[in-house]
Structure 1
Amino acid sequence: MSQGSRPLGEKNSFGTFGGVFTPCVLTILGVIMFLRFGYVVGQAGVLAALLIVLASKVITLLTTLSLSAIATNTKVEGGGAYFLISRSLGPEFGGAIGLLFFGAQALSVAMYVIGFSEALMGYLPAGTSPTLVASLTNIGVCVCVAIGAGWTLKLQFAILATVVLSLLSFYAGAFADFDIERLHANSSMSFTDGESFWTMFALFFPAVTGIMAGANMSGDLKDPAESIPKGTIAAVLITGMVYASQAVFLGGASERIDLVQNNLVISDIALLPALIAAGVFAATISSALGSMMGAPRILQSLARDRLFVSLTPFGVGSDRDGEPRRAIVATFLIAQAGIMLADLNTIAPLITMAFLVTYGLLNLATFYEAITKNPSYRPQFKYCHWSTSLLGAIGCGVVMLLIDWKWALVATTLVAALHWYLSRVELGANWGYLTSGLLFERTRRNLLRLEDELYHPKNWRPFVLALSGGGFSRPHLVTLGSWLTAQSGVLTLGQVIQGDLDDHVQRRGSQEKILHGMIKERNLNAFPAVVVASDYTAGIEALVQCQGLGRLRPNTILLGCPLQVERMKIFGGLLRNLAGIGHSVVVLRRTDDPADPWAAPSGTIDIWWRGRANGELMVLLAHLMLEHPDWQGSRLRLLRVVENEAAIEEVQSHLESLLREARINGKTKVVVSNNPTAAIQSHSRDAAFVFLGMQPPDENQEEVFFHRIEGFVGALERVALIQSAGGMRLES
């Protein structure tokens, strides 16, 4: 069963008009229009009210374009905006915004129910409790939705007809009372009681948030990709014309004091006030029904994705048609809490912030989908551009700050906290969201830029290719590679499988998966690389030459040291070849067998200096090791052997100057001896790690090279032999 799909029963299949256009229109033309829009016009004036309508509609239209693009780019299931955001920005953002959006939709039910109750109070006996009326209304809305979406949507056709008739009654009455001079007098702003343009914007904006009413029914639509764009855009444009014309007619048909003080001023203006009353009741109830239908479906989809384990029970649907009845009960309880604790003017700004965050992230998701140029981003809706999505996202952010920066900060912090929580929970979601596409596009651009940059030794970083063997059979190489690269470099763990490619294709894939799994298990910052070659040495050379992309290629090869003369003959040729193609080499020779090969030993890191040829790389690698957390507390020593005491002062000054110019902390020491091998053995016997320079052996000199290496290593437990290809400078 796919996430978000119905487990049992036959799925609802509503069309564009019934499933999207009607719910959107009825949610937009709701309680704000009938009970608060006159107050907005009275406070802000007609011109500012038109600006508020225009700004609100621009933001929602831009968001609708983004919504349409994403809806036509993927198979849309249940969950509406949550589904679309989570499948684009990933489960962390999706879960965070889904929970916030569900809460906003549930509180919208309370807002619309309170509006309905305010309108009804004028027809009820004095002393009737508004909270009791709102609570009973909330129960009725919950019962209607619990019966089923099909019945509720059919009921909304009758409600839509009632709203249309009430608007016609208002326009007829307003036309009869219209006065140009009154319109002129009501055109300018005249705020009272601490109100401002942005408080009016915050009060009005929830009226236009109904654009999600159709998308929230995505799991019940016959063809979401067709219905969501057509139905939502039509609803945005038509309701925009309704609000704009209503602002003009309100300003020309009523005095400012009536607009501000009379919540039912539309009824006084209308030709048939009874139709306005019917319209208020119908619009507020329909909006409540729309939110009560949408919120549970968001919660159900969120629960089925199992992002929050505690919400899992709400993913259950009814056996007959999958209706989210448990989620409906949860929505009812949240709405009831809103009714008991707040009033209409308090709830509206809170809902505004939640919706603006949701719209902003939806626009952001579409923007990122477009700019990453992901081949899978092929929306059938062609009227959305990355610039419109970015403008929509910026608009949402700016409006949030201008309305109330404190509540904007609260909403953003809540999303960030939920995202932080989900990023630390092991989520099993694998939706192919755009994070990887965004990273790919960013990496692609950076690689192309890097290709054109002039190289400077100051920018040298270790890109280490460690021949770790299969299943970390050489853990000491993996450990050293991690110490050298964890803070500032790149580590690739390579393996060569000897044989024919035809015979080892499957083994190659499985070994790479094993390496990848062990990398994750050890929490290493590394990449696996496996090749098949008939000859082991040729396989290493092929791996070295083929790894990387552009300038991002291994510059340092990490190898184990042969323990037999026969193997050194082959190894010597490999060293010469690696030097020939410009790669530095680190050969690790260990004589100890530690109980924990991943632990850093105690002691100093000794570097035996013999000049810059290999010395600069030795010092840099030692410094990088000491930057690793495992080596905190250890120290670096730079040592050199001289033959007589007369050279001590000059060499000591030179070594100190090297470290000072390199800006690396460490101690220096000059050792007087005619036997460098014995001096190294004596002074570094307690060192945790020793760096020695080397040059590849001449042809046919591999045996001599082997015995010289064994002599230098002697009883030392950990020795790294360095063959530098250059490319770095200590002073950089």
Structure 2
Amino acid sequence: MTEPKSKPGEKNNTANKLGTFSGVFTPSILTILGIILFMRLGYVVGAAGLRQALLILLIANTISVLTSLSLSAIATNLTVRGGGDYYLISRTLGFEFGGALGLVLFLAQSVSVGFYCIGFGEVVAGLLGGSETIAQFIALFAIAALFSLAWKGADWATRFQYAVMGILCLAVLSFFIGGVLNWNADLLQTNWLPAADGPGFWVLFAVFFPAATGFTQGVSMSGDLQDPGKSLPLGTFLAVGVSILVYLVAAILFAGNLPQDVLSGDFQAMNRVAIVPFLIVAGVFAATLSSAMASFLGAPRILQSMAADKVFPVLNLFAKGVGPANNPQRATLFAAAIAVLTVGLGNLNLIARVVTMFFLISYGLLNYATYFEARAASPSFRPRFKWFHQRASFAGALICLFVMLAIDWKSGALAVAVLYSLYQYLKRTSSTSRWADSQRSYHLQQVREHLLQISRELEHPRDWRPQVLTFSEDRERRIRLLKFSSWMVGKSGLITAVQILEGKGAQQIRLKNEAENELYQDIADSGVQAFPLVVNAPSFEVGNQLLLQTFGIGPLRANTILLNHHGVYAQRFFSAHFKRFGQNLRTSLRLGYNLVVLDALEEEWQTLERQPANERCIDIWYQSGNTGSLMLLLGYLMTRSDFWSHARLRVLVAEQDDNAEATKENLRQELERVRITAEAVVVKDCSAATIIASSADASLVFLPLALKEGRIIDSTGEMVDNLLPNLPLVALIVAAQQIDLDAEPESGAAGLLADAEDAVAAAQKRQQLVDEEIAELNAGLEKTLTTLIAARKDGNEEEAKTLYADLAKIRQQLDKATRRSAKADSKLEQDKERLEKLREEYHLNESTEEDAEDKNLP
């Protein structure tokens, strides 16, 4: 097995790498057990009551647990390098999402350093009786001390965190012991309900939620871990599990030790419960500094990873690290500068809320990235961590979104707007992604599901759109052909540039690769969205025959061929050797391909491109039938392209029955019926002279194509060789498919099936009525016969004669009903047979186990 490649600036040396406890559990738990535990949890319990406080804990920790599940799945599916959340999301959702999130996370964590240090400064200044300015100086001193540790590297910072961990453990233990010794069950019951004049639920949730934003701190250290795939899930779950237990016990102890007014009115309430109050003060110091230290370690590593990926060129200088551990000293210096600026700005409540939203967005995107990866069903998604489900990840993303809106929808909207702006900037300015992400796998899965869904639905004329095979061997003409095909599909179809290589032997593989590269380059030069296709075959005729019969997948098939009139392929299409090339053009028409032949010389093309957009005109020489309908539709689609959006559309038709006005009115009604806006023009005839006189000043002319002995003729039966040189760009068109421009939704296969099903239902109804009539007649016959026998026994001859007549009448009616029943049964069988044939024709009787599974796709 090959070793994973390193990113630029990243070392494979694991000698100084961190383990699960030091690299993941420690920074995560120290951030979670922060200032909220010591100075705000009591307030939340007092104001919300224990019942709502437990609900707040449940919601916050649901986010933690679901995101930890997602993190564990995605982290065990790839080799996690430096950058934490940024790396995971960028390698899943793509360059743009990762870059946008990485930048805001770096800024959020850098600002968090300043906030935590301000909190530390305010606590110290409060103990010393100092002013706000003193608090800021203390905060700057704390930043300098933490910076010196972060500058030396993660190993030195981890040693500091061990000392902090010890202080926090002693502080929590002191509180727990004091809480157990002073336990009051009656007080617990009193504190169960919220305070009468307390703030709302979501206000208190917003106060508490920062306590749940530290469990991904270990992810930011991913580049410094010996085994990220193992350490990240284990360390994160340990940190989340321990923190849930600590907060749950602490909330219960608060409720069972202090009155509600004390809890909601004294942020130092933990000192009243702890057996050694001094340890709580030390814990506050440790909590603020440890949270700041964790952010000081995480932020520079996100920036360094982004710089190594060259996301924002201006940040590339931060990719360089120092020492065996690749310590990001440049990024650390930048993070420190942002932290100092944060302290200098003072009151930053709005920024604080937006920063919280950035963290929530990162958790939501981490959950969504896991759902996205799993939903793509890529064979490469094989996480070693199995205890997750894609629906759980999706639920985690939705909960994060809900909490953002519930806490502060304005700050949430601002955070989303910043992220979206960065995403759009990267999407518009970035080149091809420097790594593979899951977006292609996701789109492939969507293509699969959509193709399967299309195959289960009936084809309808309203669904028709041009799917074009563009044949060209001439590179000079190919660019023009590609551009014309893009106009022709009108942003609604697909284009495939085709080249058939004739020959045999091993060198054909090399020639095929060269031809594909040439097609890729020509497509790129043309600026057209198209696919290249090169086919190797012993002869052009064999290759084209196979191509036309096999191109496409499932219901997605090509339906139109586009050629250059003077190209090599056109010469083969219209050569005198008509039997070659699979019966040449007639074979293509029999296979259902419409044909468009473009006559566009270089000087004509240049003249068209120089023509002002509002002076361009498309002439369509209309004739009734499928070819005329196809020309109308292609002319309309042309105007949907940017190049022809301001062009005039003229439809020209020969005068009928020597009545120009009636012909023009009929044409106008036809255009109105098919909902195509165009100018109706009536000419005397469709001779070459009339065509030249009428369309010489047009930009593009659509002419119907016909064949005579393998050569193109116009609608009058004359060759077009003398016509084309006297016209601008010309597209010669013949339709091989039925083109219905005004198809009703009930028409087509769906309408035929509906009619057949209705006929079967009506036949069954008739059969049922006849059967009911026969049953009624049989019952009457039996009753009449019984009455007749009784009359005979009684000697009542007059009644017997009447009953004989009734019996004869019933038998006559029964004979007629029986004949009607036979006819109804025959009609029912015919209708059922017709319906079955239609179902077989449209492949509606096929059902597979995979189809049943696909119906249950989320």
Unaligned segments of structure 2, at least 5 residues: 744-858
1:561 aligns with 2:574: no
**1:681 pairs with 688, 692, 714, which one?**
692
Deviations along 1:568-616, one digit per CA (max 9) or x if unpaired, are 3246842111111111111223467336388385553222233214111
Deviations along 1:294-334, one digit per CA (max 9) or x if unpaired, are 11111111111111112112222113431111111221122
1:637 aligns with 2:637: no
* Distance in structure 1 (CA, Å) of the matches to 2:450 and 2:69: 31
Deviations along 1:485-536, one digit per CA (max 9) or x if unpaired, are 1422211111122222532211211221221222223221211111122323
Structure 1 residue 705: deviation in Å? 11
Decide whether aligned partners of structure 1 residues 705 and 448 sit closer, same or farther in structure 2, where only a CA change above 3 A counts: farther
1:720 aligns with 2:739: no
Q: Which residue of 1 aligns with 2:591?
A: 581
**1:257 pairs with 261, 264, 269, which one?**
261
**2:181 pairs with 172, 176, 181, which one?**
176
The share of aligned pairs that are identical, in percent, is 38
* Distance in structure 2 (CA, Å) of the matches to 1:470 and 1:247: 78
**1:111 pairs with 109, 115, 118, which one?**
115
* Letter of the structure 2 residue corresponding to residue 578 of structure 1: S
Question: Is the contact between residue 71 and residue 225 of structure 1 (CA under 8 Å) also seen in structure 2?
Answer: yes
* Distance in structure 2 (CA, Å) of the matches to 1:692 and 1:364: 53
Decide whether aligned partners of structure 1 residues 591 and 506 sit closer, same or farther in structure 2, where only a CA change above 3 A counts: closer
Deviations along 1:615-671, one digit per CA (max 9) or x if unpaired, are 1111111111122221233222222224762x4333222212211111111122222
Q: Which residue of 2 aligns with 1:380?
A: 384
* Distance in structure 1 (CA, Å) of the matches to 2:348 and 2:675: 65
Q: Which residue of 1 aligns with 2:632?
A: 619
Q: Which residue of 2 aligns with 1:159?
A: 164
Unaligned segments of structure 1, at least 5 residues: none
Q: Give the secondary-structure state (helix, strand or coil) at the position aligned to 1:630.
A: coil
Q: Which residue of 2 aligns with 1:185?
A: 190
RMSD across aligned positions (CA):
2.6
Structure 1 residue 381: deviation in Å? 0.4
Q: Give the secondary-structure state (helix, strand or coil) at the position aligned to 1:521.
A: helix
Query: Which stretch shows the higher mean deviation, 240-249 or 534-543?
Result: 534-543
* Distance in structure 1 (CA, Å) of the matches to 2:524 and 2:480: 17
Q: Which residue of 1 aligns with 2:524?
A: 520
Decide whether aligned partners of structure 1 residues 74 and 328 sit closer, same or farther in structure 2, where only a CA change above 3 A counts: same
Q: Give the secondary-structure state (helix, strand or coil) at the position aligned to 2:609.
A: coil
* Letter of the structure 2 residue corresponding to residue 176 of structure 1: L
Decide whether aligned partners of structure 1 residues 353 and 701 sit closer, same or farther in structure 2, where only a CA change above 3 A counts: closer
Q: TM-score, normalised by structure 2?
A: 0.81
Question: Is the contact between residue 491 and residue 527 of structure 1 (CA under 8 Å) also seen in structure 2?
Answer: yes
* Letter of the structure 1 residue corresponding to residue 261 of structure 2: I
Q: Which residue of 2 aligns with 1:145?
A: 150
Q: Which residue of 1 aligns with 2:670?
A: 658
Q: Give the secondary-structure state (helix, strand or coil) at the position aligned to 2:465.
A: coil
* Distance in structure 1 (CA, Å) of the matches to 2:489 and 2:18: 57
* Letter of the structure 1 residue corresponding to residue 499 of structure 2: Q
**2:26 pairs with 22, 46, 53, which one?**
22
* Letter of the structure 2 residue corresponding to residue 457 of structure 1: P
Question: Is the contact between residue 477 and residue 564 of structure 2 (CA under 8 Å) also seen in structure 1?
Answer: no
Query: Which stretch shows the higher mean deviation, 309-318 or 82-91?
Result: 309-318
Decide whether aligned partners of structure 1 residues 705 and 577 sit closer, same or farther in structure 2, where only a CA change above 3 A counts: farther
* Letter of the structure 1 residue corresponding to residue 170 of structure 2: L
* Distance in structure 2 (CA, Å) of the matches to 1:657 and 1:485: 25
Structure 1 residue 156: deviation in Å? 1.9
Query: Which stretch shows the higher mean deviation, 182-191 or 478-487?
Result: 182-191
Question: Is the contact between residue 101 and residue 362 of structure 2 (CA under 8 Å) also seen in structure 1?
Answer: yes
Question: Is the contact between residue 500 and residue 534 of structure 1 (CA under 8 Å) also seen in structure 2?
Answer: yes
Decide whether aligned partners of structure 1 residues 176 and 442 sit closer, same or farther in structure 2, where only a CA change above 3 A counts: same
Decide whether aligned partners of structure 1 residues 249 and 48 sit closer, same or farther in structure 2, where only a CA change above 3 A counts: same
Question: Is the contact between residue 497 and residue 530 of structure 1 (CA under 8 Å) also seen in structure 2?
Answer: yes
Question: Is the contact between residue 112 and residue 339 of structure 2 (CA under 8 Å) also seen in structure 1?
Answer: yes
* Distance in structure 1 (CA, Å) of the matches to 2:528 and 2:655: 41
* Distance in structure 1 (CA, Å) of the matches to 2:604 and 2:111: 62
Q: TM-score, normalised by structure 1?
A: 0.94
Larger Rg: 2
What does residue range 401-440 of structure 1 map to in structure 2 within 5 Å? 401-440=405-444
Larger RCO of the pair (alpha carbons < 8 Å, separation 6+): 1
Decide whether aligned partners of structure 1 residues 684 and 346 sit closer, same or farther in structure 2, where only a CA change above 3 A counts: closer
Structure 1 residue 181: deviation in Å? 2.2
Q: Give the secondary-structure state (helix, strand or coil) at the position aligned to 2:708.
A: coil
Q: Give the secondary-structure state (helix, strand or coil) at the position aligned to 2:192.
A: coil
**2:641 pairs with 600, 617, 628, which one?**
628
Question: Is the contact between residue 486 and residue 525 of structure 1 (CA under 8 Å) also seen in structure 2?
Answer: no
* Distance in structure 2 (CA, Å) of the matches to 1:10 and 1:726: 66
Structure 1 residue 169: deviation in Å? 0.9
Q: Give the secondary-structure state (helix, strand or coil) at the position aligned to 1:469.
A: coil
Q: Which residue of 1 aligns with 2:134?
A: 129
Q: Which residue of 2 aligns with 1:692?
A: 703
Decide whether aligned partners of structure 1 residues 721 and 265 sit closer, same or farther in structure 2, where only a CA change above 3 A counts: same
Decide whether aligned partners of structure 1 residues 570 and 264 sit closer, same or farther in structure 2, where only a CA change above 3 A counts: farther
Q: Give the secondary-structure state (helix, strand or coil) at the position aligned to 1:593.
A: helix
* Distance in structure 2 (CA, Å) of the matches to 1:344 and 1:54: 29
1:594 aligns with 2:604: yes
Q: Which residue of 2 aligns with 1:333?
A: 337
What does residue range 186-205 of structure 1 map to in structure 2 within 5 Å? 186-190=191-195, 195-205=199-209
Decide whether aligned partners of structure 1 residues 479 and 216 sit closer, same or farther in structure 2, where only a CA change above 3 A counts: closer
* Letter of the structure 2 residue corresponding to residue 585 of structure 1: L
* Letter of the structure 1 residue corresponding to residue 622 of structure 2: W
* Distance in structure 2 (CA, Å) of the matches to 1:58 and 1:603: 62
* Letter of the structure 1 residue corresponding to residue 497 of structure 2: L
What does residue range 386-401 of structure 1 map to in structure 2 within 5 Å? 386-401=390-405
Q: Give the secondary-structure state (helix, strand or coil) at the position aligned to 1:708.
A: coil
* Distance in structure 1 (CA, Å) of the matches to 2:530 and 2:676: 26
**1:669 pairs with 666, 681, 689, which one?**
681
Query: Which stretch shows the higher mean deviation, 364-373 or 656-665?
Result: 656-665
What does residue range 338-349 of structure 1 map to in structure 2 within 5 Å? 338-342=342-346, 348-349=352-353
